[in-house]
Structure 1
Amino acid sequence: MPLKALIVEDDADKARQAEQGLREVGFSQIDLAGNGIAAKRLLRDTFYHLVVLDIALPAREHEEPDRRGGIALFNEVTARELYKQPRHFIGLTAYEEIFDEALSQLGAEAWSVILYDRTSSEWLQQLQIKARHIVASQLAEEQGQHFLSDIGVVTALGDPELDAVLALDWSWKEEADSSDATKYHLGLTSCNGANRKIVAAKAPGMGMAQAAILATKMILHYRPRCVVMCGICAGVKSSDVNLGDVLVSNPSWDYGSGKRLVKAGVRTFEPAPQPFVLSTRIRGLVESLQDRSDLLHSLRGSFQGQKPDSTLRILIGPVASGAAVLADEKIIESLKSQQNRKLLGIDMESYGVMAAGSEVSAPRPEALIIKGVSDFADSAKNDAYRHYAAYTSANILRLLVENFGL
């Protein structure tokens, strides 16, 4: 089937660049619409594998762009059966102040939003990267490629995180491969009588790069339906996060992504994150578990070591990743004020796993981050609750797999 794309864009030069970029990666039919009405006419009659959608879009020809016109179009098209539902959306916006809103809307199904900058070609490169994966996914679907396992579990370098996963009663067996230094552990469990195949391994080093490398290797070799990172993280105390809470990242981003420059003699940093969001399906499963206070209470009570006094909670929200271990409240608060006021936690690896899940070749897994809060990344940081946080993280995964069909 020829790959079809629709570019909804009122800027002729930007539309031309996007069209050329999509043709270079394999899209053969590309239609253009300069306003919302024209786009809706096309979407009523044609199925598109991809819609590239300008967020600041005029509703009609000769009208001024509405800075949220693309969001309105997206909401109407996805809500009404009148339209042939596109396979993918990618949003484009030059307005940083509405980037998060656009990501919240389009990101609900793990679709993407790209920040446009007419002085750089980076936006087009990002568009082509995502478009290539759509092409690969379509090819894989046509060739009948399938997932080979159910859950791939990635943990950080430290022992407690992987130990907590391997302590789950999942009939673990170690698998050795002379061509790969990583030790993989294969497990088996069930949900409603159906088997669930699990693979788990820990990263060879600290940080996002090591986690991304391991996740990519695991995905390409074992082809899990879902790649999960379990382990520990730092919580943000001012966001009403308690020690022992379990955080599920939505979204996840690299807080060090951006530009460092000097303005008027002052060194400054302009963040430019590219967040990844949780899929709607997995978010629904986690929300169902959030409501099961009986299961969470039992889970907390079953841990025999040192644990916080607080009730076990699952919180879904923003968790950022960075290259350095943090033990400074001021840095945490600056990230909260400058990048996401709802920030719940910080770690060193999650973004790499989310990126691997989003950017690998098809069949592409969903990605999920489950991290227990072991400290607040402040001067009081210690390892007192590390084992408890690792334990709850691993067992939240167990409940999602065995009780909720992850």
Structure 2
Amino acid sequence: MERKNSKINIKKYIMIKVLLVEDSVRKLKDLRSIIDSIPEKVEFEIAHDTTTAKRFMAGIKFDLMILDLCLPTRTGDDPSPENGKDLLIEIGKSLRLNKPFHIIGLTEYKEYIEKYSKVFDNFLWALLEYSDSHSDWSDAVKTKIEYLVSSKREILNPSMVPFQFDLAIVTALRDPELTSILRLPANWEKITIPGDPSEYYKGIFQNEDNKVTVVCSASLQMGMVSSALQTGKMIRNFRPKIIAMTGIAGGVEKKGNLGDIICTELSFDYGSGKIKTIKETEDSKFEPDYKPIPLKPDLLELMKNIETSRKYLNDIKSNWPADSPEFELKLRVGPLATGAGVIENKKIIEDITAHSRKLTGIDMETYGVFYAAENSTKPKP
């Protein structure tokens, strides 16, 4: 049942709009039969004359217009093929009308095919001969609608969109985390997306050898849920090759010094598991069931090379704009635990470390970023 509902939800977005400009009840019935045979949703409007057709096109952008050549100007007027021809020409010239993406002409009179085909040919549209005796015209119309549905499906499929940015950066807080990123030289430009309360900034990190296009944004609040949502929006809106999170994490005693850089090799939610009641004492017991997500191997290898070679680390410390610790700055690559709250309890940290002995730090957001990226639509960062 759920599978069926999911399929319907997907189809409702693959919708094309068709304008049927036709004054014949018989031909309209045949056209509606074709539309009804298409599994995806095809929304259509009917205009019985050219004046009504122009009124529709003034307000709606149609994917396809099926135009009967012989039409009245208004309901009650005599139909004429000149009216269909004039409408086609006006669509091509008018700035007031929304031009349909595709147009198919129909007529049941062979003499009109010969006389008016050139008008359609000039716009690379087709004028088809309607007939009750063969299905050539209806097969062509159905093929065109199916093509438009397929094209729209590809456009709406996120996996068809290539990477647009080299790097996306998510931060948990606007200040000091996002503001620190925006102090980096990148010629930042603010971006707003209609309907989205988040603010985004795009720029370019550049030196003599490389150029990296970057976009960054802060989550609306702290925590895994917010970071996962913000990461999903960043991926959907900007399609980055790499997505990263910068921020402040709590360290683990004897696993580093204040100011060290932590790179997450393995991310997990330390609150994932089951709370059981011990019958004898009625005490509760937590049984963890972590589902860790690893860093991509190529990025992990890059980070480990920096960790061992100390490339960039001395420059970061010497160029730091504020007071820096006296000890040597290090990059520490290892597991990082994420949870719902800030921990100031040694026993809880010891319990987490017992299940991840190489734990390097604890925060509230990283697993949300990893989970959103790992389960995003293709192309995945």
In structure 2, the partner of 1:215 is 231
After the TM superposition, which residues 330-341 of structure 1 pair with which residues of structure 2 at under 5 Å, given as runs? Answer: 330-337=347-354, 339-341=355-357
Identity %: 33
Q: Determine the C-alpha separation between the residues in 1 that align with 2:373 and 2:207.
A: 23
1:325-364 Cα distance to aligned partner (Å, 9 max, x none): 1112222112111x21111100000000000100011111
Are the counterparts in 2 of residues 317 and 343 from structure 1 also a CA contact under 8 Å?
Answer: yes
User: Normalising by structure 1, what TM-score?
Assistant: 0.53
Residue ranges of structure 2 left out of the alignment (5+ in a row) = 8-155
Are the counterparts in 2 of residues 211 and 352 from structure 1 also a CA contact under 8 Å?
Answer: yes
Are the counterparts in 1 of residues 307 and 333 from structure 2 also a CA contact under 8 Å?
Answer: no
In structure 1, the partner of 2:341 is 324
Q: Determine the C-alpha separation between the residues in 2 that align with 1:194 and 1:299.
A: 19
In structure 1, the partner of 2:268 is 253
- Counterpart residue identity of residue 324, structure 1: G
State the secondary structure of the residue aligned to 1:357. helix
User: CA RMSD for the aligned pairs?
Assistant: 2.5
Matched, 1:243 2:251: no
Matched, 1:279 2:296: yes
Matched, 1:231 2:247: yes
1:359-381 Cα distance to aligned partner (Å, 9 max, x none): 0111111xxxxxxxxxxxxxxxx
After the TM superposition, which residues 337-348 of structure 1 pair with which residues of structure 2 at under 5 Å, given as runs? Answer: 337=354, 339-348=355-364
Q: Determine the C-alpha separation between the residues in 2 that align with 1:288 and 1:354.
A: 22
In structure 1, the partner of 2:70 is none
1:226-280 Cα distance to aligned partner (Å, 9 max, x none): 1100111000013x21111111111101000111111233310011111110111
Change (3 A) 1:209 1:167: same
User: Normalising by structure 2, what TM-score?
Assistant: 0.56
Matched, 1:176 2:203: no
- Counterpart residue identity of residue 230, structure 2: L
Are the counterparts in 1 of residues 249 and 363 from structure 2 also a CA contact under 8 Å?
Answer: yes
Q: Determine the C-alpha separation between the residues in 2 that align with 1:179 and 1:140.
A: 21
Are the counterparts in 1 of residues 198 and 220 from structure 2 also a CA contact under 8 Å?
Answer: yes
Q: Determine the C-alpha separation between the residues in 2 that align with 1:271 and 1:328.
A: 18
Give the alignment partner of residue 152 of structure 1, picking from 162, 168, 192.
168
Matched, 1:266 2:306: no
After the TM superposition, which residues 375-394 of structure 1 pair with which residues of structure 2 at under 5 Å, given as runs? Answer: none
Q: Determine the C-alpha separation between the residues in 1 that align with 2:308 and 2:171.
A: 26
After the TM superposition, which residues 177-192 of structure 1 pair with which residues of structure 2 at under 5 Å, given as runs? Answer: 177-190=193-206
Displacement of 1:192 after TM fit?
6.7
In structure 1, the partner of 2:327 is 310
Change (3 A) 1:241 1:320: same
Q: Determine the C-alpha separation between the residues in 1 that align with 2:193 and 2:296.
A: 32
Are the counterparts in 2 of residues 140 and 362 from structure 1 also a CA contact under 8 Å?
Answer: no
After the TM superposition, which residues 107-146 of structure 1 pair with which residues of structure 2 at under 5 Å, given as runs? Answer: 144-146=160-162
In structure 2, the partner of 1:356 is 372
Q: Determine the C-alpha separation between the residues in 1 that align with 2:157 and 2:378.
A: 6
State the secondary structure of the residue aligned to 1:180. coil
Are the counterparts in 2 of residues 208 and 322 from structure 1 also a CA contact under 8 Å?
Answer: yes
Q: Determine the C-alpha separation between the residues in 1 that align with 2:235 and 2:208.
A: 25
Query: Which moves more between the two structures, 187-196 or 219-228?
Result: 187-196
State the secondary structure of the residue aligned to 1:342. coil
Displacement of 1:144 after TM fit?
4.4
- Counterpart residue identity of residue 156, structure 1: A
1:86-122 Cα distance to aligned partner (Å, 9 max, x none): xxxxxxxxxxxxxxxxxxxxxxxxxxxxxxxxxxxxx
- Counterpart residue identity of residue 283, structure 1: L
State the secondary structure of the residue aligned to 1:250. strand
- Counterpart residue identity of residue 275, structure 2: R
Number of aligned pairs?
229
Are the counterparts in 2 of residues 259 and 269 from structure 1 also a CA contact under 8 Å?
Answer: yes
State the secondary structure of the residue aligned to 2:234. helix
- Counterpart residue identity of residue 230, structure 1: T
Q: Determine the C-alpha separation between the residues in 1 that align with 2:182 and 2:230.
A: 17
- Counterpart residue identity of residue 238, structure 2: Y
Q: Which has the larger radius of gyration?
A: 2
- Counterpart residue identity of residue 321, structure 1: T
In structure 2, the partner of 1:387 is none
Displacement of 1:294 after TM fit?
5.7
State the secondary structure of the residue aligned to 2:248. strand
In structure 2, the partner of 1:290 is 307
Residue ranges of structure 1 left out of the alignment (5+ in a row) = 1-20, 26-138, 366-406
Displacement of 1:158 after TM fit?
4.7
- Counterpart residue identity of residue 300, structure 2: R
Change (3 A) 1:294 1:146: closer
Q: Determine the C-alpha separation between the residues in 1 that align with 2:184 and 2:356.
A: 35
Q: Determine the C-alpha separation between the residues in 2 that align with 1:291 and 1:167.
A: 28
- Counterpart residue identity of residue 297, structure 1: N
- Counterpart residue identity of residue 352, structure 1: G
Displacement of 1:316 after TM fit?
0.7
Are the counterparts in 1 of residues 353 and 359 from structure 2 also a CA contact under 8 Å?
Answer: yes
Query: Which moves more between the two structures, 347-356 or 307-316?
Result: 307-316
